[in-house]
A and B are shown apart, each in its own frame.
Chain A
Amino acid sequence: MSNEIEAIKDPGLPAHVHRRADTDPKAAKKAERQVAILFLLSALGTVTLIGSYIFIPQDVFIFFPVLGNTNAHQLFLGLGMAASLFFIGMGAIHWAKTLMPDEEVVIQRHEFRSPDEDRAAFVATAKAGAEAAGLGRRSLIKRSLGLSLGLAGLSPLILLRDLGPLPGDELSKTSWKAGTRLVTDPGDRPIRAEDLEVGAVAQTLPEIAKGAHRKLSDIGKDAVLLIRLRPEEFNLDAERLSWTHEGIIAFSKICSHMGCAVALYEQQTKHLLCPCHQSTFDVTRAAKVIFGPSARPLPQLAITVDSEGYLVAKQPFTEPVGPSFWERSS
């Protein structure tokens, strides 16, 4: 295939150059000693490992430049192990490089393709086998076997059905109901409007009965962020404004992009930022997305106060919280 008229000639394998250890017994002896020293260093490493395991207590910290304060037990255990392994390898390779034969050997490759007669024989055997089984002629057997294999293949899928419940409307619902108190997380204390100064942020959850267990999967939908601004700083329509209380606005803390906790609040710009993918939401405009990959604002929770002056939800969330899913309608 090549198009050159006359290529430059292959000069062939270069002549072998002997190493000093090949010809000089003294050099060979020296190389042998070097290999032995490397193996002994490995043994020393193992002794360090055993010694550190037994004698260094687990709570001793020592200072090393660059490393800082380091746990001595774990450090010397590791260094011992590293030396014990590393020097075995160094010894073996030094041995191979200095004392084992270093003359290159040439072997021939063979074509992978089978000889034609083998191929023909294979085809004949395979055909004869299929013929003997009657796979071609007996279509009833072929079809019924196909059916049963296909059905049998389905059974693992059936058996895996109990991996989890059907989603139902779980993804669309949270624990928030009209009148549910907002309580601090952590602490579970109800909050009054005056507990929050202007510019402050609070992480809250819906109140649950004392002693009741709060499931992580509930926190994953219920987490709400309270932010207090000056009422005149809002740029909201009348309805959304009525969902705030004395400058306090509540958003789902679960990112509308991929569900991370939207926890970074920038007081100066009044932006909420999700640390996972940097979706940025403008608090003054009902958490409108102003940057990043999220396509929807954070759902806003309508809040008000109850008769005792504690912040409560005015109504449940009006849309599903968290990342999008196929059945989500808006």
Chain B
Amino acid sequence: MTARERIAGSVANYVDERTGAAAWMKKNLNKVFPDHWSFLLGEIALYSFVILLLSGTFLTFWFDPSQREVIYEGSYAPLEGLKMSAAYASTLHISFEVRGGLLMRQIHHWAALIFMAAIVVHLMRVYFTGAFRKPREFNWIIGVGLLTLGIVEGFLGYSLPDDLLSGTGIRIAEAIIQALPLVGSYLAFFAFGGAFPGEAFIPRIYTVHVLLLPGAFLALITVHLMLVWYQKHTQYPGPGRTEKNVVGYPLLPVYMAKAGGFFFIVFGVTAFLGAVASINPIWLYGPYTPGQISAGSQPDWYMGWLDGLVRMAPPLETHAFGHTISWNILIPGLIVPGILFTGMALYPFIESWMTGDKREHHLLDRPRNAPNRTALGVMSLTFMLVALINGGNDIIATTFHLTINQIMWFSRIAIFVLPPLSFVITKRLCLSLQRADRDLVLHGRETGRLVMMPHGEFVEVHEPISAEKAWLLTQHEQNPALALDENDSRGVRRPGALKNKLRARLSKAHAVAVPKVTAEDLKEIEHH
């Protein structure tokens, strides 16, 4: 036994005698993780969160979250002598005087954008492959919570520097609060410590941004990861992979090296972006004052869809009995996002209700094999995309020499027309892909080799596909729609008949499929 082994042994012994960790570690170090590039998306979100904590902590050492008015005397000459808040002045100080300060600010902002993008793409992966199904519904809901908190956290973060652009964003947020019926003006005055903008808001959202929400993130991410760990990761279908097993690489050493290495890669790429790609150059916007604004005011992308919805809202207000209800703010700013996010959080339960499927699922779906779900996902994304495009309507108008009115009217119509259209197209595409899979299994791969038959006919030679491929294309389940009769055996209408009718119809829509190839079919074709 070498000296090193002896020391390691006695440390391990010390810990184990007090915690019994060895048994747990033995079991978990051999944990198997399936490998697929799309499983890295959630990892990117996790790593950018760590980067955000590190770079954010750096920024707090110099940032002064105060709306106290100061005269700028720093090294950025164009703003010399201007009145501004201490928050804005200290952000300028970080950008121009603190060495590495601008780099850290840019890393922090880029990491926030990457965090949100990774969450959204991870969510899309989980949705389109059906990874949210039983037993992972809790984790889906936690994920939706993290996405929502991320939007809020990001908004608060870019509001902190108190520049002209972000101050305008806060003004809009205040107007949304103020628009709430009954309590709006009270809530706004409580949040801002009086009339907008006051001097209380930046210090308050600073506490929320650096303490409350990161705490909530830490708690939710911990539960999210513990559930992934405990429930074991889903895996893509393939030869040898079943609902009962996990095929992949053990935690020690391969997965640890890969995941640990990937953290450094994500951090490195973020640092590269922070080094070369300027982001949120607040010194160009100037300090916030409510009487001024710059053209082309744009939020960060994850808020863009919300702004786009607000922009396309029709000018509707109700004035009655001495009160005002601003539908033009409430519908796009609260009601529609509320419906979208609630629907998203509840989707696993809605789908299981439609299909009647209450079993555990650990094998992922190929999106084409769940046409209804895939189409619904594309439909939601189309909705978001139209809203996002409209959120940049001023930029698009100036870039492509269009009028704002044209883009706005396009969006107002497209937000109703394009999502259903994309649903129909996606569903058709999925079924076509299923048909293509069927052809491939039945008739094999086209080789591009043409052969002239003795009687002069030209035919293309097809090659049978491998057994692995044939299995991949046929392993999925095709379940029939729920049979829910409106009337019972005596012809009496069942209670809840209307609900059942809806459920049966949805279930039928969900079960539409091109029949997959069976061994029977293959045998039959061999006889020809």
Contact = CB atoms under 8 A, between A and B. Distances in A.
Contact of A112 (B360, B405, B441): B360
B232 interface: yes
A295 B315 contact: yes
Nearest to A111: B360
Given A92-B257, A167-B185, A328-B324, A259 B329 contact: no
Interface residues of A, number: 100
Contact of B195 (A106, A171, A263, A327): A171
A95 interface: yes
A324 interface: yes
Contact of A330 (B292, B295, B319, B516): B319
B285 interface: no
Interface in A62-120: 67, 70-71, 73-75, 77-79, 81-93, 95-97, 100-102, 104-109, 111-112
A86 B474 contact: no
Interface string A229-273: 000000000000000000000000110011111011000000001
Given A53-B100, A109-B245, A219-B291, A96 B275 contact: no
B99 interface: yes
B192 interface: yes
B317 A296 contact: yes
Contacts of A279: 315
B174 interface: yes
B80 to A, nearest CB: 15
A295 B405 contact: no
B475 A10 contact: yes
Given A105-B32, A295-B328, A79 B239 contact: no
B250 to A, nearest CB: 5
B289 A219 contact: yes
A326 B324 contact: yes
Pick the most buried of A12, A165, A328: most chain B CB atoms within 10 A of its CB: A328
Contacts of A5: 518-520
B17 interface: no
B268 A294 contact: no
Interface string B329-344: 1001000000000000
A199 interface: no
Contacts of B274: 78, 82
Interface string A19-59: 00000000000000000000000000000000001000010
Interface string A142-168: 000000000000000000100111110
A133 interface: no
B249 to A, nearest CB: 7
A227 interface: no
A191 to B, nearest CB: 16
Contacts of A322: 175
Contact of B408 (A11, A166, A292): A292
Interface string A282-309: 0000000101111110000000000000
A314 interface: no
B22 to A, nearest CB: 19
Contacts of A330: 319, 324
B293 interface: yes
Nearest to A329: B322
Given A12-B240, A88-B261, A109-B232, A3 B276 contact: no
B185 A10 contact: no
Contact of A105 (B250, B316, B405): B250
A185 interface: yes
A96 B261 contact: yes
B215 interface: no
B103 A92 contact: no
A195 interface: no
Interface in B285-314: 288-297, 307, 310-314
Contacts of B479: 1-3
Given A82-B272, A166-B186, A220-B195, A91 B326 contact: no
A275 B297 contact: yes
Contacts, number: 346
A259 B170 CA distance: 10
Pick the most buried of A1, A82, A87, A330: most chain B CB atoms within 10 A of its CB: A82
Interface string B254-281: 1001101111111111011011100000
Interface stretch (B369-377, B413-421, B464-472, B489-497): B464-472
Given A112-B135, A293-B314, A58 B253 contact: no
A139 interface: no
B181 interface: yes
A323 B480 contact: no
Contacts of A212: none
Contacts of A2: 477-479
A296 B327 CA distance: 12
Interface stretch (B118-126, B196-204, B451-459): B196-204
A296 B175 CA distance: 15
Given A4-B518, A105-B249, A164 B185 contact: no
Contact of A293 (B200, B246, B271, B312): B312
Given A1-B477, A78-B274, A223-B290, A164 B200 contact: yes
A6 interface: yes
B518 A6 contact: yes
Given A77-B99, A107-B30, A293-B314, 15 more contacts: A1-B477, A12-B240, A58-B96, A75-B275, A81-B271, A82-B269, A100-B254, A100-B257, A102-B254, A106-B32, A220-B290, A259-B290, A276-B168, A293-B313, A323-B179
29 contacts: A4-B516, A8-B441, A14-B239, A73-B99, A77-B100, A78-B272, A79-B272, A79-B275, A92-B257, A96-B261, A105-B30, A105-B32, A108-B246, A111-B360, A163-B190, A167-B188, A253-B291, A257-B175, A261-B293, A263-B295, A275-B297, A276-B293, A276-B297, A291-B404, A291-B405, A293-B310, A293-B314, A326-B185, A328-B319
Interface of A: 1-14, 53, 58, 67, 70-71, 73-75, 77-79, 81-93, 95-97, 100-102, 104-109, 111-112, 160, 163-167, 170-171, 185, 203, 205, 216-217, 219-221, 223, 253-254, 257-261, 263-264, 273, 275-279, 289, 291-296, 322-330
Interface of B: 30-32, 96-97, 99-100, 102-103, 106-107, 135, 168, 171-172, 174-176, 178-186, 188-198, 200, 231-232, 239-240, 242-250, 253-254, 257-258, 260-269, 271-272, 274-276, 288-297, 307, 310-317, 319, 322-326, 328-329, 332, 360, 362, 393-394, 404-405, 408, 441, 467-468, 470-471, 474-475, 477-480, 516-520, 522
